[in-house]
Structure 1
Amino acid sequence: MELRHLRHFIALARLKSFSKAANELHLAQPSLSRSIQKMEERLGASLLARDEKQFALTEYGQMVLAQGEQIVSQLEYLESEIKSRQGIAQKRLVIGASPIPLNSIIGPALGGFIRDNPQMLIELKVESWSRLYKMLLKGQLDLFIAETNATLLDQRDNIETCRLPQSNAIFCCRREHPLAQLERVYLPSLRDYPLGVPRAFPDRLREQFDDLLDEDRHDYAGLLKYDQFQPIKASLQGCDLVVLTPDISVQAELASGDLVALEVVGMPDIRANFSVVSMKNRRLSQGAEQFVQALFADHLDRASGF
């Protein structure tokens, strides 16, 4: 079996469409079909269960996909290592991030990195931390940035986590909000206003707020669960929504006074530990190492100037 057949099959399994896979691979669709057929002939097994309109992976197809992704990933890493030792810098960098660190951590650092590395091809992928973790294992990412304590990522022994400075979880709102006018705000007072909370907020942290963040809120005001924080932040000036978020996500707005962090009596001490996550058995490319350095430099500069 040739490696190109394996790459063709992986693309087909990922895109779930012969036409889309052929387009991505720059092949004619009949050529892709022949490539898959040759692969099946050499393996002596059917990889696809076909009907007139669609297909599904057979048991053998699932097996080939799982092992094939690892084979391709290891080969690409080997090629990268050889080029690195030959002094040929890798010009491609694939970075993943969950939504909050994408806007609050990667965004501010990216400009300086591009300025210093104008030749670099950069791909940014925004997903949940669990999806990013799977992509990293498959070799589809060089690294990603996500919260690693609440998600327990820092307890996995197959990855490296390089922790960025901690962020505090806060309740914030517009400065004209009724709660912002009070000298003291107690947790029960938040029940009278709609609350925004990350959809991926872990249950073990949610429990520290008693029933404040429960979906079944009875006579409480509404609850908004979000994946992307940017549109939520943009909406705060026009309503009485109170949002639970890491303080780094609203650092500029807090500094300008557009938003305020509520001093809530009885607020659980919750800290967001965002980290750079990479594979333990794979050395980062030179470009990836430079990007990590840019992240830390920018993060420290902004922290000292806040």
Structure 2
Amino acid sequence: MELRHLKHFLVLAKLKHFNRAAVQLNLAQPSLSRSIQKMEERLGVKLLERNSKSVSLTEFGELVVRQGQKIIDDVDLLYRDIRSLNGLDAGDILIGSSPIPSNALLGAAIGNFIRLYPHINVELIVESPAELYERLIGGGLSMFVAETKATDFDKRDELATLPLPEYDIIFCVRADHPLMMSKVLMLDDLREYPLAIPRAMPSSVQTQFGDLFDKDRHDFGGLVKFDQFYPIKESLLNCNMVAITPEIAVRKELAEGRLVSLPVSDMVKLTSCFSIVYLKSKSLSPVTTGFIEFLLNCHPQKNMPTRQQSELVTV
């Protein structure tokens, strides 16, 4: 049994609702279901009684809850003892991020990291991918998180990239948007509505949609370019705007039903490929290595083992 499965189960046991637990854990509900199923398979017992609205614990589930938190606490204590020997009781780390992963991937991870390592100083700098690259090259960052495929960072010889899970790119709108009345939805149907896109959207992505985002087209309906997506989410709830974004950026709103993903039939499948990026030529400090390992274990890729600190270059 893996610790992450136990942590998932304890949150689900507390909330007794798959959807709410998935939102709190920043997971898709099917991923949470698979995690619980794997735990049940490995233990050889049924932990939950499931129905359409909630879950309840079996006697085995109650036992796991009673002893599971102690296991988590003991592992946290072990980590504290290890970092005391490993020099992670103090230090500084300069983390860069583009806007969407700063909220969707880094926020909770940094909070949990600081809980384990309260004497480490963390500085988070949120900028465009191009600005993050220049800052990293200039020595102003320890590492950063950004899209690496569309930006071609994964092809730069001087950069090391550690991929995080990929997320589908979607169009999203408020739940009662007029487009939701269409039985078959095509990209052309979006043209008459205001569109919200990232200011730093790579041209390679824009070209996938023809002239949809071209403000010079004859049927132009308005364009909103953003650096930070958070205020756009609030705008979507109050108008007929359509936004394009990685699904992870609106996962909570989708689960709550405040926003919905548009099922655009002729949209090419696109995914956001966020990665941890650092310089190959620069050895990583124990603090930076510890955070990278922590972040990778917070957001593991499918069928990939968790990384150990020894796999990264340290000083």
**TM-score surpassing 0.5?**
yes
Q: Judging changes above 3 Å, is the alpha-carbon distance between structure 1 residues 291 and 194 closer, same or farther for their aligned structure 2 residues? A: same
Query: How far apart, CA to CA, are the structure 2 residues paired with 1:176 and 1:197?
Result: 21
Shift of 1:286: 1.8
The reply on whether 1:164 has 2:164 as its aligned counterpart is: yes
TM-score of the pair, normalised by structure 2: 0.66
- 1:248-296 deviations in Å (ceiling 9; x for gaps): 1111111111110111011022111000000102222222122222322
Shift of 1:298: 2.6
Name the amino acid aligned to 1:124: L
Shift of 1:163: 0.5
Query: How far apart, CA to CA, are the structure 1 residues paired with 2:108 and 2:216?
Result: 38
- 1:106-137 deviations in Å (ceiling 9; x for gaps): 01211110100100111111111111111111
Corresponding residue for residue 290 of structure 2:
290
Give the alignment of 1:38-53 within 5 angstroms: none
Percent identity for Structure 1 against Structure 2: 45
Query: How far apart, CA to CA, are the structure 2 residues paired with 1:234 and 1:163?
Result: 30
Corresponding residue for residue 8 of structure 2:
none
Q: Judging changes above 3 Å, is the alpha-carbon distance between structure 1 residues 134 and 186 closer, same or farther for their aligned structure 2 residues? A: same
Shift of 1:175: 0.5
Query: How far apart, CA to CA, are the structure 2 residues paired with 1:181 and 1:294?
Result: 44
Corresponding residue for residue 127 of structure 1:
127
Corresponding residue for residue 196 of structure 1:
196
TM-score of the pair, normalised by structure 1: 0.68
> Quick check: 252-261 or 143-152, which moved more?
252-261
- 1:58-79 deviations in Å (ceiling 9; x for gaps): xxxxxxxxxxxxxxxxxxxxxx
- 1:22-56 deviations in Å (ceiling 9; x for gaps): xxxxxxxxxxxxxxxxxxxxxxxxxxxxxxxxxxx
**Preserved CA contact (<8 Å) 1:98 1:145:** yes
Give the alignment of 1:79-94 within 5 angstroms: 88-89=87-88, 91-94=91-94
Name the amino acid aligned to 1:291: F
The reply on whether 1:218 has 2:218 as its aligned counterpart is: yes
Query: How far apart, CA to CA, are the structure 1 residues paired with 2:129 and 2:243?
Result: 21
Q: Which has the larger radius of gyration?
A: 1
Query: How far apart, CA to CA, are the structure 2 residues paired with 1:218 and 1:299?
Result: 43
Gaps of 5+ in 1: 1-85, 302-306
Query: How far apart, CA to CA, are the structure 2 residues paired with 1:202 and 1:220?
Result: 20
SS of the residue aligned with 2:212? coil
Corresponding residue for residue 206 of structure 1:
206
SS of the residue aligned with 1:140? coil
Number of residue equivalences: 217
The reply on whether 1:280 has 2:288 as its aligned counterpart is: no
Corresponding residue for residue 115 of structure 1:
115
Shift of 1:199: 1.2
**Preserved CA contact (<8 Å) 1:108 1:298:** no
SS of the residue aligned with 2:237? helix
Gaps of 5+ in 2: 1-84, 302-315
**Preserved CA contact (<8 Å) 1:171 1:262:** yes
Name the amino acid aligned to 2:181: Q
Corresponding residue for residue 238 of structure 2:
238
Q: CA RMSD in A?
A: 1.8
**Preserved CA contact (<8 Å) 2:164 2:300:** no
- Deviating beyond 6 angstroms after TM superposition, the runs of 4 or more aligned structure 1 residues are none
Q: Judging changes above 3 Å, is the alpha-carbon distance between structure 1 residues 87 and 167 closer, same or farther for their aligned structure 2 residues? A: closer
Give the alignment of 1:26-45 within 5 angstroms: none
Query: How far apart, CA to CA, are the structure 2 residues paired with 1:220 and 1:190?
Result: 10
**Preserved CA contact (<8 Å) 1:173 1:261:** yes
Corresponding residue for residue 79 of structure 1:
none
